[in-house]
Amino acid sequence: MSYGYVGKILRVNLSIGSIDVEKFDENFYRKYLGGRALALYFLLKELKPGVNPFSPENKLIFATGVATGIPLPGMNRYAAVSKSPLTNTFGESYAGGFFGPELKFAGFDAIIIEGKAEKPVYLWIHNGEIEIRKATHIWGMKIKETTETIRREVKNPKARVAAIGPAGEKLVRFASILHDMKYANGRCGLGAVMGSKNLKAIAVVGSHKLRFADKEKIVKLAKWASKAIKDMPGPHSRWMYGTGAVLLPLNELGLLPTRNFLDGEFEHAEDISGERMAETILLGRKGCYSCGIMCKRIVKGKYPYETDPDYGGPEYETLAAFGSLCGVGDLNAISYANMLCNAYGLDTISTGVTIAFAMECYENKILTKEDFGGLEPKFGNADAMVKLVEMIAKREGIGDILAEGVMRASRIIGRNAERFAMHVKGKEIPMHEPRGKKSLALAYATSPSGADHMQNAHDTLFERNVEKILPLGILKPLSSMDLGPEKVRMFMYLSMWWSLFDCLGVCKFAVMPHPAAVFSISQLRDIVKAVTGWEVTIWELLKVGERAINMARCFNVREGFNKSDDTLPERFFQPLRSGAMRDEKIAGEEFEKALKLFYEMMGWDSETGVPKKAKLHELDIGWAVNFLEKSNNKT
């Protein structure tokens, strides 16, 4: 009897219209847990090296974890995974909400999508039944219209609909997938992969009940969490102000990305903060499945930027990407840009960074008013920022170039525009400043999917207290500015722990070491034991996270990526212009030493960053040894 997982994986080939269900044994689930690791297993074993991300041969995988669907705070996430059209690396994006639990309730742990439909289609999955339905009539619709139309057609207003908008259809390289209009698989352009397959949406409904080995323990933890969450300052802050609660503290620290990462302090930070949102445009709060933290915002922007509350409201990343990074201090305009991204299906981080790049190109006279069709996109121009969001989504005018992402756009524009393109491996930098959080430099550089702030817990959490991570063997606080051997060790352990979350299907806000967390490290182990019945240890769980990291590394090696790709934009090796961290920079020699040491600690070759065969065998993925030879397929 299976606990914590259904034991079935759905495979759909859109080219031939085939639908198959595959079953895997308990050892498979214990070894990979789900999510990131499970999806990588199939990508590595089945995807040909060098495949074009927009080719029918590419695969798009939606995968839950063994924790997805547990009625506890934060146990609701799922992975969307493919080869990324933005980076040509392993592409990954995670979302909370309700789609992941509903997929398991419908009878499946994962969906593997192959091929390309001749004409637009959507999938309808309900209690183990699967249909491929025509979607030509909804092709071109925005996310809300798509969702509402599909719910009417399947005659179920509670259907969870994961859909793409016009941006995904037009293959914008950072197009996202939205479910329920506000929960996003935002990063890596997986919405464009979906569009390349002529797959408009996946609708899911199920009534299958998950089985837990120790239901009594889960019920007890649920009652404890319901009471504890009310007394915890971190969860309360997320409920009160959303993720925007971190904007003002980061600004005070001089770590708020401003004007395309030139500055660390924004003069209008208070005007775009979570606190100001709560005072002005906030209508309500929304949570994910079985989670009382309720960090999602529902907003109603004011004229001339009136927004549709059904599209939710901006997270911290969005507030900073369209706000401080573009020099815009108008909260209504930022909320409107967020709504446009959710309506068209765009990643807010990549969109904001791309617009900030365009603004800096304009201010340095690399691009002109004529290039922008009469717009003057100076830093701070809210109207231009909003207009560029639509131009990118529709691939209109210069938006057609910007829709390629900053790496490709800078190469097309030329004239040394690359120096303003803030990306790693082609993925735009998130809204966290590595010049003041030094292990983030390693996180951005080594992330298999390009720059990603969710690959590791941030340094500032452990400057004074490491009580939350004592079970990992990290015993003393370290400065955020440190990048020595002890920090590299901390980074390595925390990378494994956070990778584990993406395999389990756990929100990183819900479990330590995040300050808004409900559950401790030891409690997460207890939850996995209660759900699965396995006598797991923290060590075994860490190994799953490490296994996934190494599988992702093997994927990129196979695609031709190497140590030279584990780097940062030159700007981060230059001093910040303003803020409490003014003049701070990353020292190149220190960074290179830390990178080499990280390789060695991970069991990778210190000169190339390629995992050693012994390491893969130690992780029980010796089958991946075949993928270590470089294929020179990087494009």
How many domains does the chain divide into?
Answer: 3
Cα dihedral sign, 180-185-186-190: negative
Based on the fold, state whether residues 276 and 356 are members of the same structural domain.
yes
Tokens matching residue 558: 């196979």
Which tokens go with 477? 């606080």
pLDDT at 632: 47
User: Is pLDDT of 544 > 70?
Assistant: yes
For residues 394 and 291, state if they share a domain. yes
In this predicted structure, the answer to whether residue 16 has a pLDDT above a threshold of 80 is: yes
Same domain, 25 and 151: yes
Q: What pLDDT, on a 0 to 100 scale, did the predictor assign at position 629?
A: 67
Residue range 225-248: average pLDDT?
91
Which percentage of the chain shows pLDDT scores above 70?
99
Do 481 and 606 sit in the same domain of this protein?
Answer: yes
Residues 515, 474 within the same domain: yes
Measured CA to CA, the distance from residue 399 to residue 355 in angstroms comes to 10
Indicate if 388 and 448 belong to the same structural domain. no
**Which bin fits 383, alpha (ψ -120 to 50), beta or left (φ > 0)?**
alpha
Q: Name residue 508's amino acid.
A: K
CA-to-CA dists, residue 223 to 218, 220, 227, 294, 533, angstroms: 9, 5, 7, 17, 20
Residues 346 and 254 in one domain: yes
Question: Which tens digit of pLDDT belongs to each residue from 353-393?
Answer: 999 999 999 999 999 999 999 999 999 999 999 999 999 99
Whether 140 maps to a domain, the answer reads yes
Q: Can you read off the two tokens belonging to residue 265?
A: 């302090």
Q: Is residue 61 within 8 Å of 113, Cβ to Cβ?
A: yes
Please indicate, yes or no, if residue 481 is contained in any of the structural domains.
Answer: yes
Residue 282 forms part of a structural domain: yes
pLDDT, position 262? 98
Q: Looking at the structure, do residues 531 and 385 belong to the same domain, yes or no?
A: no
Helix, strand, coil share (%) of the chain residues, nearest 5 = 45, 15, 45
Q: What percent of the chain has pLDDT over 90?
A: 94
**At which of 391, 421, 451 does a domain end?**
421
The reply to whether 212 falls in a domain is: no
Residue 178 binned pLDDT confidence (cut-offs 50, 70, 90) = very high
Same-domain status, 187 and 240: no
Q: Is the pLDDT of residue 597 over 70?
A: yes
User: Quick one: average pLDDT of 584-596?
Assistant: 97
DSSP-assigned letter for residue 465: -
**Mean per-residue pLDDT, 10-17:** 98
Question: Which of 400, 488, 475 has its CA nearest to residue 443?
Answer: 488
The answer on pLDDT for 631 being more than 60 is no
In tens, the pLDDT along 272-322 reads 999 999 999 999 999 999 999 999 999 999 999 999 999 999 999 999 999
Q: Is 569 part of a structural domain of the chain?
A: yes
Please check the confidence at residue 190 and state whether its pLDDT lies above 90: yes
| In a domain? residue 171 | yes
**The one-letter amino acid at 623:** W
pLDDT bucket at 433, cuts 50 / 70 / 90: very high
Specify the CATH number for the domain of residue 137. 3.60.9.10
Confidence of residue 1 (pLDDT cuts 50, 70, 90): low
Residue 65 near residue 29, CB atoms below 8 Å: no
Residues 447 and 417 in one domain: no
Asked if the structure places residue 430 within a domain, the reply is no
Q: pLDDT class for 55, splitting at 50, 70, 90?
A: very high
Query: What torsion, rounded to 10 degrees, do the Cα atoms 59, 151, 132, 88 define?
Result: -10
For the entire predicted model, the pTM comes to 0.97
**pLDDT, position 234:** 87
CATH of the domain at 590: 1.10.599.10
Q: Are both 451 and 321 inside the same structural domain?
A: no
Tell me what pLDDT residue 635 has: 46
CA 247, CA 253: separation in Å to the nearest integer?
10
Neighbours of 25 (CB within 10 A): 10
pLDDT of residue 634: 57
Cα 488 versus chain centre, distance: 23
For the chain, give the mean pLDDT.
Answer: 96
Q: Answer yes or no: do 367 and 452 share one domain.
A: no
Q: Which residue has the tokens 């547990």?
A: 70
Tell me the two tokens of residue 391: 């131009």
CATH number at residue 329: 1.10.569.10
Instruction: Identify whether 221 is part of a domain.
Output: no
Under the phi-then-psi rule, with left for phi > 0, alpha for psi from -120 to 50, and beta for the rest, what region is 93? beta
Integer Cα distance of 328 and 381 in angstroms: 6
Tell me the C-alpha to C-alpha distance, in Å, between residue 445 and each of 450, 550, 591.
7, 15, 10
Question: Does the structure show a pLDDT above 80 at 121?
Answer: yes
Residues in the chain: 635
- Domain that residue 311 falls in: 235-421
